[in-house]
Amino acid sequence: MLKKRIFKKKKQSKQSVARKLVTETSPKSVVSEQFRTIRTNINFSMPDHDLKSILFTSATPGEGKSTASANTAVVFAQEGKKVLLVDADMRKPTTHYTFSRMNATGLSNLLTRQWELEDIIQQTDTEGLDLITSGPIPPNPAELLGSKTMDVLIDRLKEKYDMIIFDAPPVLSVTDAQILSNKAEGTILVLNAGTTEKESVLKAKEALVSSQANILGTILNNFILQKDHYYYQYYGNDE
């Protein structure tokens, strides 16, 4: 099972890495190398299956799932794959901030059949990486994600992309992640070092298991890496 830590420098604040595409701005850093390791672990998680859709979620808000999903999408694109990042958090969307894109139209418009797919997909500054933002916040996100329209959309996207990454809401906040995890081929649970409670993790896992999610593993975010760790000795002090 995939289980990975995202390291950060001890003096670095959590706010300074929020919504930061470190894999773009500092590709030689320790953190970027960790995302490449996550990419490798995902590729090996199901060696006999062509894994094309992954859901990122967390137990509770503020654990870094959106930052983790965005950076993972970047490293898959850097590998040469055609990647799509979908902001499936139609309650508190953030990917349009991460990539500095407009959110006037997006996933909610597709699921209500107001727009066509080709009009919704946005290119990012990363070659090979496209984006579908959340769109206007609808009154019924869970119903839209559980609809047949969503099933058809996923099938269409699999024909166009090598990898589709969904950024979903926290599991314990709403049912959206449970619904979508049943549709994605793999699910990754993002935890925040030092703040995520064990009870919350267990409840989140139980909720995902009850939805028959294929849990690939976990990512431990904001883990403080000491200066004498072998990663620093090998990779140096690149930010």
Asked if residue 227 is part of any domain, the answer here is yes
pLDDT at 34 exceeding the cut of 70: yes
How many residues would you count in the chain?
239
Asked if residue 131 is part of any domain, the answer here is no
Asked if residue 100 is part of any domain, the answer here is no
**Residue 30 half-sphere exposure toward CB, CA atoms < 13 A:** 23
Please count the structural domains in the chain. 1
How many Å separate Cα 185 from the centre of its chain? Answer: 13
Confidence of residue 7 (pLDDT cuts 50, 70, 90): low
Q: What percent of the chain has pLDDT over 70?
A: 86
Q: pLDDT by residue (tens digit) across 88-135?
A: 999 999 999 999 999 999 999 999 998 999 999 999 999 999 999 999
CA distances for 149 relative to 76, 90, 121, angstroms: 27, 16, 17
Asked if residue 35 is part of any domain, the answer here is yes
User: Residue 12 has what pLDDT?
Assistant: 42
Interatomic CA distance for residues 208 and 189, integer angstroms: 10
pTM to 2 decimal places = 0.86
Look up the domain containing 200 and give its range.
2-84+138-235
User: Residue 15 has what pLDDT?
Assistant: 39
